[in-house]
A and B are shown apart, each in its own frame.
Chain A
Amino acid sequence: MGYAGKVLFIDLTSGTSRTEELNREWARLYFGGKGLGVKYFASLTGPGIDALSPDNKVVLMTGPLAGTIAPCSGRLSVTTKSPASGTILECGVGGTVGPEIKFAGYDGIVIEGRSDAPVYAVIDDDKVTLHPAGDLWGRGCHDTELVLKERLGEEFRIVSIGQAGENLVPMACLTSELYRQAGRGGIGAVFGSKHLKALCVRGTKPVRVPNIAEFMKVVGELMREDCLTDTNLWARTDGTPLLVEASNSAGILPTRNFQDGVFEGFKAINSESVRNVRQRKNACFACTLACGNYVRAGEAVVEGPEYETLALAGSNCGISDLEAVIRFNAACDDLGLDTISAGNVVAFAMELTEKGIHDFGMRFGEIRPYLEAPALIANREGIGADLALGVRHVAGKYGGREFAMEVKGLEIPGYEPRGAWGMGLAYATSDRGACHMRAWPVADEAYGNIDPFTIEGKAALVIGGQHYNAIKFSMILCDFWAISLENMARVASVATGRHVTAWELERAGERIYNTTRLFNVRAGFRRAADTLPDRIFKEALKTGRAAGRIYPKGEFDRMLSEYYALRGWDEEGVPTPAKLEELEIS
């Protein structure tokens, strides 16, 4: 119960599709979403595959709560191998497409092979068809989605790529509902390599739970008592832009390519400024928090900008003009570009230019070249030919390696590690390169009451966060509901019809994290890759709460060893056979 019981396989090479029964044993161990997605992906592919070859696969996975009224459950998990980092890559996207896949009768979809010519896939309940997409190739995500909705019907839910994905840019994302992204690691480029322009889904089937009265009772209680409280309602009143001022106050707002943690122009891009141009709120399927903000600034309209965009494409580029950030955001959304990586690489190019290392024709705070960058990157034209390949590539070609702000080739999100040491460990040990979604210790370090400038207790804090998020994104629940594992177990129990405990969920989180680690180890990643850029270890921040701080490399190394030991991994970060056996990982 809770599951549709089927997984759809679409083979783009042969143009055929088939269904398989859901692997119930894996569903018991991994629940859904991220967990089940990475389990399917790791079982179907090898770690040595080329991310942009037909051997790579894309696994879209829902969870037992998808399509129900459980709040914050309207997400979809997408797993593949990253062309940016070479690691396993799992991304989440909100909106309505996840539940729609469930309504069509599938727990997940596996996309295999490569089509000779561009196509889009249409999944209309049991009917699965591929259609030529030659007329859509070269068009942005917004156009693509609007054309397909007009062609197929308004009720179809669509995931598409823009020019960035078509051009195999390793920071290309998937876009859904015009403004929602599975953003990181170049998942859009994998779609592009398969010549898959879009996936369109319509479902008309029910989602079943074992006892509807019991389900409604538990979900209602949790919604009233746990979800719609002051702990979560910041998402409704503000959404993520609230983090701009919070991070700036805590001295961890990336500024001018992570040269500082405080931005003097933060008031122009903080939540109050976003609220001034907000037109209305928006929510994903079944969400009561509604974190989305539709804004308009001049001609630019966007759902956003989210904190990560305001930080990486705002303060980190020295931009204190909200309209410019909104225009940058809207361009990236349409072109299908990840704003975190795009903001980072633009900031890096600005610093290289200012330092005289290479002239990219852009400096911090200059709006014109900044706004020209997304199209150049997505089309790999001019300076975009290099910038499209990410910070690591640009540093390798032109220099500036010590301030190339990436981990494993994935650019760093919006929390400065010198002002939150646990966050540095979270970036270093994330399963897809620098990522803020695997553990978020800044909640305690920067915004809570744990000392940010110590390694004491941080390894355990990060591990706990990694397990918690792994199972939360497997259920699939949104990040913005700070639900306890006990309450997660209650809702998992009424959705699946078997008694699920908090301990079991924590354990599943550990299993999922070890499964992704094992894939990465087999792909060649070891301790040396679990690190941070030199700037973090050697350059002190200038202003704010963390002024004068570096993150001592010796402390970081000690914490990393402690982290491995607590995890039952060896000194190189390889899970031991005993640990894998204990977690039932094969």
Chain B
Amino acid sequence: MAQAERERGISQMEYYQREMFYRNAPMEHGPSACEIPSCGVMVVLHGSLERYAPPGEGRRVIVHLPRGRTVADLIDIIGIPRQYVSFGAVNGVRREMNQELKDGDEVALFTPLSGG
């Protein structure tokens, strides 16, 4: 199962890289950037989520997406299975998944955590 998810992650990541290249959003996530101006957010992929970043990028990546997109949309665009994200923080404060993102936001994504 983990293997299958890994494969899914990689294919999603390639998809996402292609999207990064064109600085455009895929059609299924909404209209393209030609119609709606895009915004750039800094995503910090904490813990093991860093493997969803493009190779060699580390855990901080810049993602461009159409205006009006939410934390949940961002997670889908990157291609992380939802159950592996426990919460997202925008500019250092935990926010709901339907929080709308603005140009220049920093979004930190965390996996489920245990222990302490």
Interface residues in chain A, defined as those with a beta carbon under 8 Å from any beta carbon in chain B: 224-225, 228-238, 240, 242-243, 245-246, 248-251, 262, 266, 271-272, 307-308, 413-415, 436-437, 440, 442-443, 446-449, 478-482, 544-545
Contacts and interface: CB of A to CB of B under 8 A. Distances in A.
B19 interface: no
Contacts of A440: 114-116
B114 A479 contact: yes
A570 B33 CA distance: 64
B49 interface: yes
13 contacts: A225-B1, A230-B111, A231-B112, A237-B48, A246-B113, A249-B89, A250-B89, A250-B94, A307-B116, A414-B116, A448-B112, A480-B115, A481-B114
Interface extent on B, as a size class?
20 to 34
Contacts, number: 102
Contacts of B113: 234, 242-243, 246, 443, 447
Nearest to A248: B92
Nearest to B52: A230
A439 B59 CA distance: 31
B48 A480 contact: no
Given A230-B49, A234-B47, A237-B48, A437 B89 contact: no
Given A242-B46, A544-B93, A448 B116 contact: no
A447 B86 contact: yes
A249 B48 contact: no
A449 B2 CA distance: 24
B50 interface: yes
Contact of A249 (B47, B84, B108, B114): B108
A482 B108 contact: no
A545 B116 contact: no
A440 B115 CA distance: 7
Please list the 9 inter-chain residue pairs (A to B) with the smallest Cβ-Cβ separation, ordered nearest first.
A234-B47, A479-B115, A249-B89, A233-B48, A230-B84, A482-B114, A249-B94, A480-B115, A230-B48
B112 A443 contact: yes
Contacts of A262: 92
Contacts of B89: 245-246, 249-250
B116 A413 contact: yes
A411 to B, nearest CB: 15
Given A248-B92, A448-B86, A448-B87, A238 B116 contact: no
B64 to A, nearest CB: 23
Given A234-B46, A248-B92, A271-B46, A482 B116 contact: no
Interface in B77-100: 84, 86-87, 89, 92-94
B48 A236 contact: yes
Contacts of A230: 5, 47-49, 84, 111
A471 to B, nearest CB: 15
B2 A240 contact: no
A92 B55 CA distance: 38
Nearest to B85: A230
B1 to A, nearest CB: 6
A289 to B, nearest CB: 10
Contacts of B110: 234, 242, 246, 249, 447
Contacts of B47: 230, 233-234, 237-238, 242
Given A232-B114, A446-B94, A544-B93, 9 more contacts: A233-B47, A249-B110, A271-B46, A448-B86, A449-B86, A479-B114, A480-B115, A481-B114, A545-B94
A320 B68 CA distance: 36
Given A480-B114, A480-B115, A228 B108 contact: no
B57 to A, nearest CB: 14
Contacts of B108: 245, 249
Nearest to B90: A249
Contacts of B46: 234, 238, 242, 245-246, 271
Given A230-B84, A233-B48, A443 B114 contact: yes
A189 to B, nearest CB: 24
Question: Which residue, A228, A233, A234, A266, has most C-beta atoms of chain B within 10 A?
Answer: A234
A453 to B, nearest CB: 13
A231 B84 contact: yes
A243 B116 CA distance: 8
Contact of A308 (B59, B86, B93, B116): B116
Nearest to A308: B116
A266 B93 CA distance: 12
Contacts of B2: 224-225, 228-229
A436 B94 contact: no
A480 B112 CA distance: 11
A249 B115 contact: no
Nearest to B49: A230
Nearest to A483: B114
Contacts of A449: 86-87
A272 B111 CA distance: 16
Given A229-B2, A230-B48, A479 B116 contact: yes
Nearest to A227: B2
A441 to B, nearest CB: 11
A481 B1 CA distance: 18
Most buried by B among A447, A478, A480, A545: A447
Contact of A482 (B1, B48, B112): B112
Nearest to B97: A449
A415 B116 contact: yes
A16 to B, nearest CB: 39
B116 to A, nearest CB: 5
Contacts of B1: 225
Interface string B60-72: 0000000000000
A225 B46 CA distance: 21
B98 to A, nearest CB: 13
Nearest to A452: B94
Nearest to A230: B84
A13 B64 CA distance: 71
Contacts of A307: 116
Interface centre among A246, A250, A413 (most CB of B within 10 A): A246
Contacts of A237: 47-48, 50
Contacts of A238: 46-47
A240 B116 contact: yes
B71 to A, nearest CB: 12
Instruction: Pick the most buried of B47, B59, B86: most chain A CB atoms within 10 A of its CB.
Output: B47
Contacts of A437: 116
B44 to A, nearest CB: 8
